[in-house]
């Protein structure tokens, strides 16, 4: 029996609220693309693709601080950056810390 693929998501909501997590089972590549795209549209902080319990890669939402023209700083447009699997990514998305 082969292990199924999963898309796991995690969003941090600050110090006063617990992070939200999601886990979506995928049987085809089409399902993986669907759930990753939906998670990006839902503005999730971390999106990981797992084969069974093995992390294959993670997208992190990133942004830069830019001057707002009034002496302060604000967030630029956000984007996702893909990172290969690592122990940190696995722990973050599987809820081990």
pLDDT at 90: 61
> Domain range for residue 14?
5-94
- State pLDDT tens for residues 21-76: 999 999 999 999 999 999 999 999 999 998 888 888 889 988 888 888 888 888 78
Is residue 96's pLDDT more than 60? no
Instruction: Provide the domain count of the chain.
Output: 1
Is residue 94's pLDDT more than 80? no
Is residue 81's pLDDT more than 50? yes
pLDDT at 91: 60
Compute the distance between CA of residue 55 and CA of residue 76 in angstroms, rounded to an integer. Answer: 29
pLDDT at 95: 54
Query: What is the 3 state secondary structure string of the chain?
Result: CCCCEEEEEEECCCCCCCCEEEEEEECCHHHHHHHHHHHHHCCCCEEEEEECCEEEEEEEEECCEEECCCCCEEECCCEEEEEECCHHHHHHHHCCC
């Amino acid at each position: 029996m082969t292990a199924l693929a999963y898309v796991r998501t995690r969003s941090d909501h600050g110090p006063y609220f617990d992070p939200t997590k999601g886990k979506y089972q995928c049987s085809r590549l089409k399902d993986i693309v669907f759930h990753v795209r939906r998670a990006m549209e839902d503005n999730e902080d971390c999106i990981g693709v797992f084969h069974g319990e093995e992390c294959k890669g993670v997208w992190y939402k990133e942004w830069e601080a830019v001057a707002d023209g009034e002496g302060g700083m604000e967030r630029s447009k956000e984007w996702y950056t893909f990172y290969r699997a690592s122990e940190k990514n696995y722990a973050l998305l599987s809820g081990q810390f």
